[in-house]
Amino acid sequence: MAKQKKEFVTEITPQQEDFSRWYIDVIKKADLMDYAPVRGCIVFKPEGYELWEACQRELDKRFKATGHRNAYFPLFIPESFFQKEKEHVEGFNPELPWVTEAGGEKLEERLAIRPTSETIIGHMYSQWIQSYRDLPVLINQWANVVRWEKRTLPFLRTSEFLWQEGHTAHASEAEAREETMKILDLYTDFVETELAIPVFRGQKTPSEKFAGAVDTYSIEAMMKDGKAVQAGTSHYMGQNFAQAFDIKFLDKDNQLKYAYTTSWGVSTRLLGALIMVHGDDRGLALPPRVAPTQVIIIPIGPQKERERVVNHAEDLRQRLLAANIRVRMDAREDLSPGWKFNEYEMRGIPVRLEVGPRDMDNGQVVLVRRDTGEKTPVSTDSLLSALPQLLDDIQANMYAKAKAFRDEHSYTADTLPELADIIREKRGFVLAGWCGDEACEKAVKDECSATSRNIPFQPPQEMKHCINCGKPAQHTVWFARSY
């Protein structure tokens, strides 16, 4: 058996050997995506797309619960719109695809394919908002966006990706800032609760903030190779976009004022994070709360027992379905049980339910956890009460494991050589002091290609001196290499 195990894993490159290869192997073997015939674009295959649907479901629930409503704005953005906000146009120009011709005729004004929708939404808001009574406007959009990236990686950075972008307008700075933080909390809750990924919350440094924002906040997650993924961002725009797009309202005091806006988003990049945080050398591992299939039933038995076992297994399936458990059964006869065991572990299904003649005679089934590999016989009678508990345990355990890993790979450093050494040798996040000078931030990057991830609200430790120049630190910052 040990020998077979070894042979099996040769189909997936071990993480230790080459993490990048492992990632590509897993997403292809688990059938999450395929490369599309356009540079940097992927097809989200059903297994992958259903994961995104699970994210949509959970996020949408939270958006609605906080008073947001969905709407949809055009894919095309007139070129002139980009010119209205200086930082914004500079930030996005390099990665915009343009439509210059349609219906065989050259367009009078080029149309960008949206990289994000602040501009066109700002334009609409300026027409919708007249009075303080029209505020706040709380709108979210589920959409695809395009950024012509130089370097792509499935899910984590693709030329076209799926996301949600929230855009809100408020009467006061305080209210807009509150919204910005409320969404950061919402993202934190979603990512930690549903995806079982612990995050570091904080504020982006000026060089890392969104083009056109006053302040950008992020949640940052650590992958198993120690690199960071920005899992979500929330931006306070101040009146920058309101001024650029003339979003004005008449306030209670009869004064015409610019609105305060926010925007915030998470994307299909989350799927990449999900895979890299929980996956192992046997393949994917999905947290039960977002797993498209939570339980896979494998009926086992020789030919003469087959019908009896499958009927019983089908009965179990119906009962689990009725209990709102996402369950599937694989009763194919041409594949051995062992093959299926490996297959569904590779696909990350949280729980496998094995049932064979011996189990039936004992009035039990065997439950196998993907996260620990633990096999437990459970009496058929108590299955319906045991399963939800087991799924909760797995979810909690996956979060705990991810958090333990992250904490084990989080360090502090007082000097640049020390920081660079940790980044290169140990991998992970490094907490360091920063004087606030962009040059010092860049020095870190030049030394070891780690960038500032964010300035945590509550750093585990206050760092006293700038990592590069040694002057008194103005901020304590997380540094890491990132995707």
* E strand spans, 364-473: 364-369, 375-379, 410-412, 429-434, 451-456
The answer to whether 134 touches 250, Cβ cutoff 8 Å, is no
Within 385-404, the residues that bind RNA by CB under 7 A are: none
Within 291-320, the residues that bind RNA by CB under 7 A are: 300-303, 306
3-state helix, strand, coil in the chain (%, to 5): 40, 30, 30
Q: Specify which residues 167 forms β-bridges with.
A: 139, 263
Site string for RNA, 180-219 (x = CB under 7 A): ------------------------------x-------x-
CB of 459 to RNA, least distance (A): 21
Residue 150 sits in the site that holds RNA (CB under 7 A): yes
Site string for RNA, 154-183 (x = CB under 7 A): x-xxxx-x-x--------------------
The answer to whether 149 touches 274, Cβ cutoff 8 Å, is no
Within 442-471, the residues that bind RNA by CB under 7 A are: 445-446, 449
**Part in contact with RNA (CB under 7 A); list of ranges 57-65, 188-196, 343-351, 387-395:** 343-351
CB of 300 to RNA, least distance (A): 5
For RNA, the closer of residues 346 and 432 by Cβ is 346
CB of 18 to RNA, least distance (A): 8
Site string for RNA, 29-48 (x = CB under 7 A): ------x---xxx-------
Residue 482 sits in the site that holds RNA (CB under 7 A): yes
Within 59-98, the residues that bind RNA by CB under 7 A are: 91, 94-95
Spatial CA neighbour of 352 closest among 315, 327, 332: 327
Residue 280 sits in the site that holds RNA (CB under 7 A): no
- Determine the Cα–Cα distance for residues 131 and 256; give it in Å rounded to an integer: 9
Among 15, 23, 125, 203, which residue sits at the site for RNA (rule: CB under 7 A)?
Answer: 23
For RNA, the closer of residues 326 and 445 by Cβ is 445
Spatial CA neighbour of 210 closest among 165, 169, 171: 165
Q: For residue 256, give the 3-state DSSP assignment.
A: strand
Q: For residue 367, give the 3-state DSSP assignment.
A: strand
CB of 462 to RNA, least distance (A): 27
Spatial CA neighbour of 20 closest among 219, 230, 274, 223: 223
Residue 83's CB: how many other CB atoms inside 10 A?
13
For RNA, the closer of residues 70 and 207 by Cβ is 207
Among 99, 366, 386, 469, which residue sits at the site for RNA (rule: CB under 7 A)?
Answer: 366
Q: For residue 171, give the 3-state DSSP assignment.
A: coil
Among 78, 79, 87, 152, which residue sits at the site for RNA (rule: CB under 7 A)?
Answer: 152
Q: How far is CA 299 from CA 216, 285, 375, 453, in A?
A: 51, 22, 16, 48
Q: What is the CA radius of gyration of the chain?
A: 25
Within 219-248, the residues that bind RNA by CB under 7 A are: 230, 233
CB of 29 to RNA, least distance (A): 7
Residue 267 sits in the site that holds RNA (CB under 7 A): yes
| H/E run at residue 329 | strand 327-329
CB of 6 to RNA, least distance (A): 10
For RNA, the closer of residues 385 and 449 by Cβ is 449
- Cα–Cα–Cα angle for 292, 288, 15, rounded to 5 degrees: 90
The answer to whether 126 touches 152, Cβ cutoff 8 Å, is no
Within 418-447, the residues that bind RNA by CB under 7 A are: 445-446
Residue 408 sits in the site that holds RNA (CB under 7 A): no
Among 105, 109, 253, 333, which residue sits at the site for RNA (rule: CB under 7 A)?
Answer: 333
Residue 338 sits in the site that holds RNA (CB under 7 A): yes
For RNA, the closer of residues 42 and 171 by Cβ is 42
Residue 20 sits in the site that holds RNA (CB under 7 A): yes
CB of 108 to RNA, least distance (A): 26
CB of 235 to RNA, least distance (A): 9
- CB-based burial of residue 103 (10 Å sphere; 0-12 exposed, 13-18 middle, 19+ buried)? exposed
**Part in contact with RNA (CB under 7 A); list of ranges 183-191, 238-246, 355-363, 471-479:** 355-363
For RNA, the closer of residues 221 and 463 by Cβ is 221
- Determine the Cα–Cα distance for residues 173 and 411; give it in Å rounded to an integer: 36
The answer to whether 411 touches 391, Cβ cutoff 8 Å, is no
| H/E run at residue 438 | helix 438-448
For RNA, the closer of residues 67 and 338 by Cβ is 338
- Determine the Cα–Cα distance for residues 114 and 111; give it in Å rounded to an integer: 9
